[in-house]
Structure 1
């Protein structure tokens, strides 16, 4: 029993317009899931549709930092598709936010998206699954390698804190579901450096000579998507709870 058990079922992917989210959307479509991509740039999500894939794609415009926006998305899914069976909490932001001179608005954005938005999406998905009697649902958080180590740079401390929070929230969720007697599975994927829009944008601030001399090991978004498919493909008795994906040769 592999991922085919989710064929035709509904998966919600947040932060779906680019990078890891976009790769996960297309991987799920190839396996026949009905995928709802939630992002501020819904037109970019629709561009991910695959002509020959058995799955169907729906694009919703929304901002994970807004509870109202999240609730609206879940309402649309409930009314049009029946409900969410798989949630991939991928949306995340990582502005540089120094702890002694950073802007409160930057700190708030990090926590609103990476922690609170993820939590609201999780709550709504689990409540919906429980109400519908879905006992084989799956919640996957896209965490980060930095959620397992201490900050490598002081300016990333708040981002690092948000990712450590994701790890704690996952264990809290697992225990909550066990106490409820639910077989809904949970897991997190923690990648090292991945070639995404955000990483490319940050790299532009690095001096050219440093970029050219760097032997930085980096992953492709599709590598993380394959990790999500692996999690979903396991027998219901198996919960792949933690997956750390590091690029070969990384020095972190």
Structure 2
């Protein structure tokens, strides 16, 4: 029988990108309540500070780290600060992302670049830095990508957003294979929500019928999925495992 528990993460460090609102902020809140030290990366300092004040006095603690996840130098600075001030990274939640409306046949290059810089390259850089730190400190950590249903099925009018999320799907599988080949116990999880009531979803999509039919859900449900994934047991391989 699988025993679910967050006890092993108490006092440990989690890094969450896109932590200032929506799914990221909700995940941060749940992890702090579970007793973790959470480094919240996002651009909006006022939102981060507001969340830190909201979570003051909880079992864990939230640390605002102003970061533009589309810029490598910002990510490197954020991880350096986290390691120096909080300790080794045990969990990374790659949540930061942006969507885009439009077509590929007549699209805007700046929009394409911004989507891939954040949704793909930012995710890759953060993942690399987290795993580098986990390996250096012999941490059997957990990487979670907040993917999307658009990473498995293309919807017309989403510009290159689906392509960026298909890339996240491939990156999760690539990382799984790499970690397995290294016999690493670091875990990788990809979570692919549908419509979520967050700022990234255009207002015209948030119709009353979608709520009634359960086709749009709150960020709390995604955070619950993250907690479930983190609660699953560590991976152990027998001597006969390949």
After TM superposition, is the score higher than 0.5? yes
Indicate conservation of the 8 Å contact 1:46/1:57, yes or no. no
1:92 alignment partner, one of 69, 93, 97: 97
Q: How far apart are residue 189 of structure 1 and its match?
A: 0.7
The answer to whether residue 8 in structure 2 is matched with residue 10 in structure 1 is no
Q: Deviations over 1:49-78 (max 9, x none)?
A: 324420111001111110000001011111
Which one is further off, 225-234 or 211-220? 211-220
Provide the C-alpha distance between the structure 2 equivalents of 1:21 and 1:97, rounded to a whole number of angstroms. Answer: 26
Provide the C-alpha distance between the structure 2 equivalents of 1:78 and 1:97, rounded to a whole number of angstroms. Answer: 40
Which one is further off, 212-221 or 83-92? 212-221
SS at match of 1:48: helix
Structure 2 partner of 1:221: 219
Indicate conservation of the 8 Å contact 2:100/2:160, yes or no. no
Alpha carbons of structure 1 residues 152 and 77: separation in structure 2 relative to 1, 3 Å: same
Alpha carbons of structure 1 residues 180 and 220: separation in structure 2 relative to 1, 3 Å: same
Q: Deviations over 1:147-202 (max 9, x none)?
A: 111x221x214100110100100011111111222100110111010000121xx2
Indicate conservation of the 8 Å contact 1:97/1:107, yes or no. no
Provide the C-alpha distance between the structure 2 equivalents of 1:161 and 1:10, rounded to a whole number of angstroms. Answer: 31
Structure 2 partner of 1:137: 141
Q: Deviations over 1:6-62 (max 9, x none)?
A: 000000000000000010000101100000000001221222232442011100111
Provide the C-alpha distance between the structure 2 equivalents of 1:60 and 1:43, rounded to a whole number of angstroms. Answer: 11
Structure 2 partner of 1:46: 49
Indicate conservation of the 8 Å contact 1:43/1:59, yes or no. no
Provide the C-alpha distance between the structure 1 equivalents of 2:158 and 2:72, rounded to a whole number of angstroms. Answer: 25
- After TM superposition, the runs of 4+ consecutive aligned structure 1 residues lying more than 3 A away are 210-216
Provide the C-alpha distance between the structure 2 equivalents of 1:46 and 1:7, rounded to a whole number of angstroms. Answer: 23
1:80 alignment partner, one of 71, 74, 85: 85
Equivalenced residues, count: 229
Structure 1 gap segments, 5+ residues each: 239-252
Q: Deviations over 1:90-116 (max 9, x none)?
A: 000002132122110000011000000
Provide the C-alpha distance between the structure 2 equivalents of 1:193 and 1:94, rounded to a whole number of angstroms. Answer: 12
What TM-score do the two structures reach when normalised by structure 1?
A: 0.86
Provide the aligned C-alpha RMSD in A.
1.7
SS at match of 1:166: helix
Provide the C-alpha distance between the structure 2 equivalents of 1:74 and 1:211, rounded to a whole number of angstroms. Answer: 39
The answer to whether residue 161 in structure 2 is matched with residue 159 in structure 1 is yes
Provide the C-alpha distance between the structure 2 equivalents of 1:220 and 1:33, rounded to a whole number of angstroms. Answer: 23
Provide the C-alpha distance between the structure 1 equivalents of 2:222 and 2:45, rounded to a whole number of angstroms. Answer: 22
Provide the C-alpha distance between the structure 2 equivalents of 1:73 and 1:170, rounded to a whole number of angstroms. Answer: 22
